[in-house]
Homo-oligomer: A and B are copies of this chain.
């Protein structure tokens, strides 16, 4: 990507097997449970005793989940791995292995595929995850990345979505809404570029917001922090659709209602300022933007003293009886019904409403 004069290699020069060999040559196995990675009909893992195996998969499609006009391929590879790791964190587990399937159009070069793989391998390195297999195939249309993550969790530590009880505190890690602001900036610059291709956008002051959109991280460290502090959440989910939609998932699974306090929702200052610039109420972005990959979880009230000492975690409300419904206490102290307008790939509501 640094030298645009480099000669690019057409994919057909290598063929499927050659390409896989090239892309996977440098992969080393690190996890003790990985018996066999790439190179056979299936990968082989040997879970330890007392551990449960966790599995999750995500499909990222060009034109739906990403726009190649402003998404660097390496970041795309990184993100496709990390959003899967995040699902394992949401079960209070640790990601251990990853399988990746990539469908690529003929317009891509071998070097482009290497960029994607470099991003995937980088994510695996950062999170100590073994890349154990996958599938690379031609695509008649857009770029498709399908990742399956394998993780593990001690039987006694697993956290589902359905364990919350009325009066449990609702907690969230990090801050919300920044990834969505990053997306809006990229969409704005894309339009400006389409109108005038000579315009060079200055994106340097938006580092944090763009990073949250293009290169998100999984909050594996929060899982570790909770374990270190001996806090076992009663329910947990990662925020991919948006806080409103995801807290409603917890309520539905746990058969509870909830009260979220608008003023407690953690929002980064730059996200706040950018929302104002876009004429969006910052908490609306935080509630509905999605793709934050923060952890949303509930804890028993007895853990309040422990949780309030952890800087990265905010208590934003509490669970209620299911009959009390899902409520938002606004900043002017009015109680309104919580509405989910989260990212729904089939309806794309948020996007269409705001754009």
Interface residues, chain A, with chain B CB atoms under 8 Å away? 11-12, 14-17, 19, 35-36, 39-47, 49, 52-59, 61-65, 87-88, 90-91, 93, 97, 99, 101-103, 132-142, 144, 146, 148-151, 155, 158, 160-162, 236-238, 253, 344-348
8 shortest interchain CB distances as A-B pairs:
A63-B140, A141-B141, A146-B146, A41-B90, A42-B56, A59-B101, A42-B54, A41-B87
Cross-chain contact B49 with A53 (CB below 8 angstroms)? no
Contacts of A15 in B (CB 8 A): 344, 346-347
The CA of A11 and the CA of B49, in the complex, are separated in Å by 43
Contacts of A139 in B (CB 8 A): 61, 63-64
Contacts of A56 in B (CB 8 A): 41-43, 99, 133
Query: How many monomers of this chain does the complex have?
Result: 2
Cross-chain contact A99 with B148 (CB below 8 angstroms)? yes
Cross-chain contact A141 with B142 (CB below 8 angstroms)? yes
The CA of A81 and the CA of B43, in the complex, are separated in Å by 17
Cross-chain contact A35 with B52 (CB below 8 angstroms)? yes
Cross-chain contact A44 with B137 (CB below 8 angstroms)? no
Contacts of A135 in B (CB 8 A): 57-59
The CA of A52 and the CA of B55, in the complex, are separated in Å by 15
Contacts of A132 in B (CB 8 A): 55
Cross-chain contact A346 with B16 (CB below 8 angstroms)? yes
Cross-chain contact A144 with B52 (CB below 8 angstroms)? no
A29 to chain B minimum Cβ distance, whole angstroms, is: 14
Contacts of A40 in B (CB 8 A): 90-91, 160-162, 253
Q: Which of B16, B39, B137, B348 contacts A65 (CB 8 A)?
A: B137
Residue of B nearest to A10 (CB): B346
Cross-chain contact B53 with A44 (CB below 8 angstroms)? yes
Q: Which of B55, B97, B162 contacts A42 (CB 8 A)?
A: B55
